[in-house]
């Protein structure tokens, strides 16, 4: 059974990892918007700056989740870490393959994650 200090440590670690993720995403977005202003963003398919931002956020989130999975220093990624990373990746990749954003696929992915976390919750 987890003690109160364990839960506090988990919350601190979670905030730390969230700050690293969102700080990296904001840095990436700033770099992409800056590159777009200078005309340096490659045009692939129907990709816009937002496609690059979402794709980068998805890849970054997936890499962070894999690092957390294999690292002994951090707790394993949550289901939501995977869901958001894959969702960002799908949204970003849609612009590169000239495919409308598959919102139905993202809704299915989030729905499966919600059901999975409810059904397999370990309290």
Question: What's the predicted TM-score (pTM) here?
Answer: 0.77
The number of domains in the chain is 1
Per-residue pLDDT of 58-67, as tens digits, reads: 999 999 999 9
Q: How confident is the model at residue 1 (pLDDT cuts 50, 70, 90)?
A: very low
Per residue, what are the HEC states of 16-48?
HHHHHHHHHHHHHHHHHHHHHHCCCCCCCCCCC
b/e code 12-26 from CB counts within 10 Å (16+ = b)? eeeeebeeebeebbe
Q: How confident is the model at residue 25 (pLDDT cuts 50, 70, 90)?
A: very high
Confidence (pLDDT) at 90: 85
Domain range for residue 28? 8-119
Residue 1 located in a structural domain: no
Confidence (pLDDT) at 28: 96
Residue 123 has pLDDT above 70, yes or no: no
Per-residue pLDDT of 38-89, as tens digits, reads: 999 988 888 899 999 999 999 999 999 999 999 888 888 887 888 889 889 9
Confidence (pLDDT) at 24: 95
Residue 89 located in a structural domain: yes
Residue 60 located in a structural domain: yes
Residue 3 located in a structural domain: no
């Amino acid at each position: 059974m987890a003690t109160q200090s364990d839960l506090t440590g988990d919350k601190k670690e979670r905030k730390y990892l969230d700050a690293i993720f969102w700080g990296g995403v904001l840095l990436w977005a700033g770099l992409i918007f800056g590159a777009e202003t200078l005309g340096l963003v490659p045009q692939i398919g129907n990709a816009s700056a937002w496609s690059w931002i979402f794709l980068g956020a998805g890849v970054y989130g997936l890499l962070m989740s894999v690092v957390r999975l294999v690292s002994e220093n951090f707790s394993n990624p949550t289901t939501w870490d995977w869901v958001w990373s894959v969702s960002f990746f799908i949204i970003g990749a849609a612009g590169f393959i000239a495919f409308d954003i598959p919102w139905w696929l993202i809704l299915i992915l989030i729905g499966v994650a919600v059901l999975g976390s409810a059904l397999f919750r370990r309290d």
